[in-house]
Amino acid sequence: MTNSQNISTFLSRYSEDVIHNAMALRKLILNILPGVKEQIDIPAKMIAYSYGQRYSDMVCTLIPSQKGLKLGFYKGPDLPDPEKLLQGKGKISRYVEIKKPEDLKMAALSQLLHEAFKAYSIRSKQ
Residue 111 lies in a domain: yes
| pTM score over 0.95 | no
Residue 65 lies in a domain: yes
70-119 pLDDT, tens digit per residue, is: 999 999 999 999 999 999 999 999 999 999 999 999 999 999 999 999 99
By DSSP bridging, strand 93-98 and strand 46-50 are unpaired
Domain enclosing residue 53, as ranges: 4-121
- 126 occurs within a structural domain: no
pLDDT per position as a tens digit, 19-66: 999 999 999 999 999 999 999 999 999 999 999 988 889 999 999 999
In a domain, 54, yes or no: yes
- Domain total for the chain? 1
**1 pLDDT higher than 60:** no
Neighbours of 34 (CB within 10 A): 8
Q: Report whether 119 contacts 75 (CB < 8 A).
A: yes
Say which CATH number the domain at 41 has: 3.90.1150
In a domain, 10, yes or no: yes
